[in-house]
Amino acid sequence: MNRIGAIWGVCLCVVRLFNSRQVRRQVGCAFFVMVWIGEIEGTEDVKAPTNTGKTKVQLLNELRLRKAEVDLDRRREDLKNKKRELEIADELFKEKIYTLKELNDAQKAFEEASVLYKQAVLTLRETKLNFLRDATHISVMEAKKYILPDGRRMVDVTLKNSSNVSEAETYLSGTSELAETGVEIAGLDALDQDMSKARLTSLLEIQNIIVSIYQGGTIIGKPYDQIVPSLKLYEEKSLTFQLLEEEADQITIQMEYLDVTKQMPVKVEAESEKAIPILEVMQFSQEADLGESATYAVRVERFSSGRAAFQLAVVNLPRQINAQFTRSGARLSQINFRQNETSHDLSLQVYLPERSDADVAIDKRIAFYALVLPQEVWRRLQPIEGRMFSETELDTLNASKVKLELVPRGVGRIEVRAVNLYHEISIEEEVSMEVNVYNDGTRRLDNVAIRALMPPNWRSMVEPDVISELLPSKERAVQLTFMPPDDVGVGDYEVQIQTQAMTDNRPVEAQDKTVRIHVTARTNLLLSSMLILGVIGLVIGVVWYGVKLTRR
């Protein structure tokens, strides 16, 4: 570039000697040709960084940085050239060699080069700042769940500023953005300083971090978000949230900082001084019919790490009632917690007997307990089957317990009994039959209704058609009459007997009974009598003739 300046000085002297517009234009063209040749000769090849053991990210950052620096160098030199041209044009204008338009064109070219130079400076600075942003990283060191004495579930989330300093040091490489160009860029004065590692470390400090806890797209942490004002490099900070969802073994921690929104799914660790799991049941009081079962959804949650095994037990149930813990159809007597395993979801099935008695009375509430016992406590209580524990005894046990309730309900069942369900009649005859309605359940039946679904044009009569009440193990006779129409044809017909009742405000339906009726043609008595007399006469004649032959 010094060579170009010397050439321009020579051209300026020539122009002053030859005060001619034509000579001036020829000298100007020659000057720009020499400048262009000088730019070509002064251009150096951009080489890719050699393999120095750097990471791929560092090499890519250096290439991006080098590209921005090359663009800045080009804009800087162009700005210097436009500045010299403006100075020469100003001198030539003063000597009335350049016109005002040519001076304005030089001024405009200088201003455009100045704008492009400022853009190149900002692009390079933005490229370097992007290195810092890409190197910025927040790690979730741990998420530990525990329970407070009042039953609230809490989780502590520990964050650490683990930004990658080696990648951020790319910011220190390269040339200075600003140079002696005579152009001032507002707002970059403070940035135009030598970047030390200490200042780089301060730039890696992350501010205004907004942290929330999600599960399935819903915030489950209270407060709904917390703000970390500042997190310095390698600094750790813990945040405490109250879990609004009890079954929160896996959560998503969302962090918003700079212009980044980051979500990290994590598995929550258990941490508590209480080594015995907590036993929870969603529906602790249930009703079940005799002969059926009730199922309780049970969750066993442990807030301490490490492997451990616990025994499952159910106490204070009458001997007629059986209970068992199950999971995926398999029966369980104990539960094992593996390392960092925090919870198990089980089912407790309680089976009621078919009939009620003094211990299992209908509508009488039965209270019992489900227990989670350490192995040593369970062995000390053996035999535990059939034992009845008081609340005081259970409170003294080193175990987790939950009180459950079961209300047996009676079952209403109807059985319709009949001696014969097939009848054969002739035309103009009726069918009369009797059925017995039997209460085969364990609860009283109310408003037992009996009706018959007849073939078309048939009529029926039921006596009685409604039984107001029917106690368990009792039966009542019902008289049924089926009347065919006058024009009934010969053939087979079916009648459906339906029975419905109510028990404990619930409907009870019985299985329908089907009565089959076969209708035959009417019998002619005169013809039948003549046929009988003819047969009798024929028999007498044969006998007489036989006697007569024997006498000969």
Cβ distance 291 to 350 under 8 Å?
A: no
Report the distance separating Cα 345 and Cα 456, nearest Å.
58
Q: What is the pLDDT of residues 406-418, one digit of tens each?
A: 998 888 889 999 8
Lowest mean pLDDT among 185-199, 230-244, 496-510: 185-199
The helix/strand/coil state of 419 is coil
Which CATH architecture group holds 414-521? Answer: Sandwich (2.60)
Task: State the average pLDDT over residues 442-464.
Answer: 90
Nearest CA-CA partner of 163 in 215, 201, 116, 218: 201
Retrieve residue 253's tokens. 């921690």
Q: How confident is the model at residue 184 (pLDDT cuts 50, 70, 90)?
A: low
441: how many CB neighbours lie within 10 A of its CB? 22
Q: Which of 14-28, 38-52, 289-303 ranks highest by mean pLDDT?
A: 289-303
CA end-to-end distance (rounded Å), the chain: 174
**Higher per-residue pLDDT: 32 or 412:** 412
Report the distance separating Cα 439 and Cα 172, nearest Å.
94
The mean of the pLDDT values for the chain is 80
Q: How confident is the model at residue 191 (pLDDT cuts 50, 70, 90)?
A: very low
Residue 439 has pLDDT above 60, yes or no: yes
Q: Rounded to whole angstroms, what are the CA distances from 16 to 6, 81, 87, 100, 107?
A: 16, 21, 15, 18, 22
Secondary structure (DSSP) of 531-543: HHHHHHHHHHHHH
Report the distance separating Cα 139 and Cα 162, nearest Å.
6
Domain with CATH 2.60.40.1510 in the chain: 278-409
Q: How many CA atoms lie within 13 A of 40 on its CB side?
A: 5
Lowest mean pLDDT among 183-187, 195-199, 440-444: 183-187
Q: What is the pLDDT of residues 89-135, one digit of tens each?
A: 999 989 888 888 988 999 999 999 999 988 888 888 777 777 777 78
Summary count for the chain: helices (H), strands (E) = 9, 30
421: how many CB neighbours lie within 10 A of its CB? 14
Nearest CA-CA partner of 518 in 495, 502, 539, 551: 495
95: how many CB neighbours lie within 10 A of its CB? 11
Provide the pLDDT for residue 54.
64
Retrieve residue 318's tokens. 């009458």
Q: How confident is the model at residue 46 (pLDDT cuts 50, 70, 90)?
A: very low
Residue 5 has pLDDT above 70, yes or no: no
Which CATH architecture group holds 278-409? Answer: Sandwich (2.60)
Residue 188 has pLDDT above 60, yes or no: no
Domain with CATH 2.60.40.10 in the chain: 138-185+193-270, 414-521
Provide the pLDDT for residue 16.
47
Across 130-173, the runs of DSSP E, i.e. the strands, are: 138-147, 153-161
Give, in degrees to the nearest 5, the angle at Cα 536 between 533 and 541.
125
**Higher per-residue pLDDT: 15 or 316:** 316
- The answer to whether the Cα torsion of 85, 90, 95, 96 is positive or negative is positive
Nearest CA-CA partner of 71 in 110, 127, 143: 127
* Residues near 534 by beta carbon (within 8 Å), at least 6 away in sequence: none
Provide the pLDDT for residue 231.
93
Q: To which CATH superfamily is domain 138-185+193-270 assigned? A: Immunoglobulins (2.60.40.10)
- Residue 76 parent element (H or E): helix 56-94
Cβ distance 264 to 253 under 8 Å?
A: yes
Q: Rounded to whole angstroms, what are the CA distances from 108 to 83, 99, 131, 165, 184?
A: 11, 14, 35, 44, 17
Report the distance separating Cα 147 and Cα 243, nearest Å.
10
Q: What is the pLDDT of residues 358-373, one digit of tens each?
A: 888 888 899 999 999 8
Retrieve residue 548's tokens. 């007569």
> Judging by DSSP bridges, how do beta strands 138-147 and 269-270 pair with one another?
parallel
Give, in degrees to the nearest 5, the angle at Cα 502 between 499 and 507.
80
